[in-house]
Amino acid sequence: MTKQMYPCLWFDGQARAAADFYCTIFPNSKVINDSGMVVNFELNGEFFMGLNGGDNIKFNEAVSFVIPCKDQEEIDHYWYKLTADGAEEQCGWCKDKFGLSWQVVPTILGELMSNPEKGQRVVQAFMKMKKFDIEALKNA
């Protein structure tokens, strides 16, 4: 293969609006081209394709994009931007206004969960959260 694999996201006529929205959230992002049917864009340097495919296929939680965040500031940035306009939220997962699912996760989560003394308490703590709170997880 000469190119990396990349996702094709099926939108109901909103591929350009979605690409523009995502490009305002992620650094190093841009719309590459827009043919009307297909919009190619990069989010943080990663290639995506948006397809204006119609209303017969909808996003669901079976696929989500994970955003690893180094600190609470990053979590807050992505969470509040992606959940603007009435998105669904639960346990670090959120759904944006286009119906696409995201996981906004602290990079320290794996370390906290693998601690034999605290791991179970960390899981119990984040199961009650909508947006991850790193300090609360550290103190679990």
* Domains of the chain listed by start with CATH number: 1-57 (3.10.180.10), 59-139 (3.10.180.10)
Task: Please say whether the beta carbons of 78 and 67 come within 8 A.
Answer: yes
Averaged pLDDT, groups of 10, the chain, 140 residues long: 85 97 97 97 96 92 95 97 85 93 96 90 92 94
The whole-number pLDDT of residue 87 equals 74
The whole-number pLDDT of residue 2 equals 66
C-alpha–C-alpha distance, residues 45 and 42, integer Å: 5
This prediction has a pTM of 0.91
3-state secondary structure of 8: strand
C-alpha–C-alpha distance, residues 138 and 16, integer Å: 40
The residues near 25 (Cβ < 8 Å, ≥ 6 apart) are 77, 78, 81, 82
The whole-number pLDDT of residue 103 equals 96
